[in-house]
Amino acid sequence: MRQFGFTLIAFSVLFLISCSAEPAANTATPPSPTPVPAAKRDADLERAFAEIAKDSQGRVGVYARVIETGESAELNADERFAMQSVVKVPISMAVLKQVEDGRLSLDQTITIEKDEFVRRGMHSPIRDKAEHSDGYLLSSRHELRDLIAFAVSESDGTAADVLQRVAGGAEGVNAYLASVGVEAMNVTYTHKEFSNNIERQAANWTTPKGAAALLEKLHEASVADSPAGRALTKPHADLLLRFMTETWTGANRLKGMLPPGTVVAHKTGSSGTFDGVTPTANDVGIITTPSGRRILIAVLVGDSRADEKTRDAVIARIAKAAWDKWAVGS
């Protein structure tokens, strides 16, 4: 009986100790994000991207995927890169969404005040047309549709800044991106605000995957008239894709080594060069193959010590590698 009592006391003490102890930490490895199926990720193409990227003497991020099949290849696809003029795509989409919501009209006239023009030295045909012979800038008026064309097809910095203002500023553009589920992209400053300021330029950022995600939203809207939740309706998506196809910038980038006549809806982004380093040289777009398949592709080059010809060639060779893998014979 005495032995039983001792055993009972000992058991009770152990029970109380176990109940009062801190819960054990969960040391299990958290589940990783669901990876792209091995069959869809092209390891050979990714090795080719990595080899080509070496010539940039900087950072290179790539995300490429065939929309219809899901085949993909990537390189540093989750790293952040400054957008520069690539930002004109989300800005334009945010404005077009407000047109659809009835808050704006493509035919309405927008006044550009004198203090909204980007500085001389930045690309802006609108500013150049408004410049008086004596050097003074005059305010000007343009239809909203034309401002979008100037921003995207001409890569006009003044047009982009006015559109950003009309969209509700950076906050309005970011709210639009959040509403369509694009997370890896952020807008903070206008072109005028980030001019010649590397830190501010970096605050307008995207990842290769983020840029491709926005392009896919645009493509989806162009395929069929958009149900609720889509990024845009088909007419407005088609309009923006037309402006992106008509752009003259970046002839030596994504399009540089593709067959003549290949349809590429794209937007470039470029910075100046500071102390031998070019922070940004980008091109993102949708390439249409002979079979009608679409290749989403974002190639972002950062902090490059290579010259412009080499930077452009890196982007062109990466696009050509994707084309050779997925378009030839498709």
- What confidence tens digit (pLDDT) does each residue in 274-285 have? 999 999 999 999
Nearest residue to 285 (alpha-carbon basis) of 314, 309, 261, 319: 319
The average pLDDT across 212-240 equals 88
Q: Hey, what's the torsion of the CAs at 138, 141, 147, 149, to 10 degrees?
A: -90
Residues 299 and 315 sit within 8 Å (Cβ to Cβ): yes
CA distances to 109, 119, 187, 191, 271 from 196, rounded to whole Å, are: 30, 11, 17, 10, 9
- Catalytic residue selected from 85, 155, 270, 304: 85
Whether the per-residue pLDDT at 172 is higher than 60: the answer is: yes
Whether the per-residue pLDDT at 35 is higher than 80: the answer is: no
Per-residue pLDDT, 135: 64
Q: Choose the weakest-confidence range: 39-43, 224-228, 263-267.
A: 224-228
Whether the per-residue pLDDT at 141 is higher than 70: the answer is: yes
Distance CA 279, CA 202 (A): 9
Residues 146 and 163 sit within 8 Å (Cβ to Cβ): no
Whether the per-residue pLDDT at 238 is higher than 60: the answer is: yes
Per-residue pLDDT, 330: 60
Per-residue pLDDT, 104: 97
Per-residue pLDDT, 189: 97
301 - beta bridge partners?
60, 281
What whole-number percentage of the chain has pLDDT above 90?
Answer: 77
Whether the per-residue pLDDT at 196 is higher than 90: the answer is: no
Computed from CA positions of residues 270, 276, 279, 283, in that sequence, does the dihedral angle turn out positive or negative? Answer: positive
Q: What is the pLDDT of residues 286-296, one digit of tens each?
A: 999 999 999 99
SS3 15: helix
Per-residue pLDDT, 229: 64
Per-residue pLDDT, 10: 41
Q: Are strands 72-75 and 205-206 parallel, antiparallel or unpaired?
A: unpaired
| Cα 64-263-124 angle, rounded to 5 deg | 90
Whether the per-residue pLDDT at 5 is higher than 50: the answer is: no
1/255: higher pLDDT: 255
Sheet holding 264-270, edge to edge: 72-75, 59-66, 294-304, 278-288, 264-270
Domain at 40-326: CATH code = 3.40.710.10
Known catalytic residue at 20: no
Q: What is the mean pLDDT of the chain?
A: 88
Whether the per-residue pLDDT at 253 is higher than 60: the answer is: yes
Q: Which amino acid is at 183?
A: E
Q: What is the pLDDT of residues 60-90, one digit of tens each?
A: 999 999 999 999 999 999 999 999 999 999 9
CA distances to 39, 65, 151 from 287, rounded to whole Å, are: 22, 10, 21
Q: What is the pTM of this model?
A: 0.86
Distance CA 126, CA 117 (A): 8
Whether the per-residue pLDDT at 145 is higher than 70: the answer is: yes
Q: pLDDT band at 136, cuts 50/70/90? A: low
